[in-house]
Amino acid sequence: MATWNSRGLRGSTLEELVNRTNEQYREKGLALIQKIPTPITPVKMDKDSRHITLAYFDQRSTVDYIGAVQGIPVCFDAKECCAHTFPLANIHPHQVAFMKDFEKQGGIAFFLIFFSSRDLFYYLPFRELLVFWQRMEEGGRKSFREDELRQEYYLPVKSGILVPYLEGIQKDLQLRD
């Protein structure tokens, strides 16, 4: 079984916060966002408890969340970072390809990054990620620093909303015009 510091549970607190936020947004009629489960194939099962003890991933996961906000298709991935530098190795090429195609279809794609050392959430628009991604592909830095991020995309603390990412979407839409 996974323990609190195992690789398998990294980001589970962030995931729980986002899931609860999604419920709040759904209850208020603001958005309908669902967590996309990662398909697995069980290899070993504990016969007594009927728990999966060993499994492998069937296919690569694309994004963590997908849905609609006020009629706009939205997809995003949630990442946690404990340092002031975010490694691009935490983002996979198939995720970038999916998000690129998603935006070509008129949707909004983004990354929700939780800087745990500062207890800050950041909304990273896909187009902003592409700047860092292209720099990496051209032989540059394989990460980005917090001080390279646009201040307007830090998510404000809001009473009642755990992870107010709709604020980021609203800012994103304003800056696209």
Rounded Cα–Cα distance for residues 87 and 138 (Å): 16
Q: What share of the chain is helix, strand, coil (3-state, %, to 5)?
A: 35, 30, 35
Whether residue 101 is predicted with pLDDT greater than 70 in this model: the reply is yes
Whether residue 176 is predicted with pLDDT greater than 50 in this model: the reply is yes
* Residue 110 falls inside a structural domain: yes
The CATH code of the domain that includes 101 is: 3.40.1350.10
Tell me: is residue 59 an annotated ligand-binding position: no
Whether residue 1 is predicted with pLDDT greater than 50 in this model: the reply is no
* Residue 85 falls inside a structural domain: yes
Render pLDDT for 28-72 as a digit per residue (tens, 0 to 9): 999 999 998 766 666 677 778 877 776 655 556 689 999 999 999
Question: In the chain, pLDDT over 70 holds for what percent of residues?
Answer: 85
pLDDT of residue 45: 75
User: For tokens 């996961």, what's the residue?
Assistant: 61
Residue 87: what are its φ and ψ, rounded to 5°? -75, 130
The number of folded domains in the chain is 1
* Residue 1 falls inside a structural domain: no
Rounded Cα–Cα distance for residues 135 and 138 (Å): 5
pLDDT of residue 3: 34
- Classify 101 as helix, strand or coil: helix
Tell me: is residue 95 an annotated ligand-binding position: yes
* Residue 2 falls inside a structural domain: no
* Residue 157 falls inside a structural domain: yes
When mean pLDDT is compared across 6-10, 82-86, 146-150, the lowest value belongs to: 6-10
* Residue 60 falls inside a structural domain: yes
Tell me: is residue 147 an annotated ligand-binding position: no
Tell me: is residue 151 an annotated ligand-binding position: no
* Structural domain of 33: 7-176
What contacts 9, CB < 8 A, 6 or more positions away? 2, 3
Record the pTM.
0.83
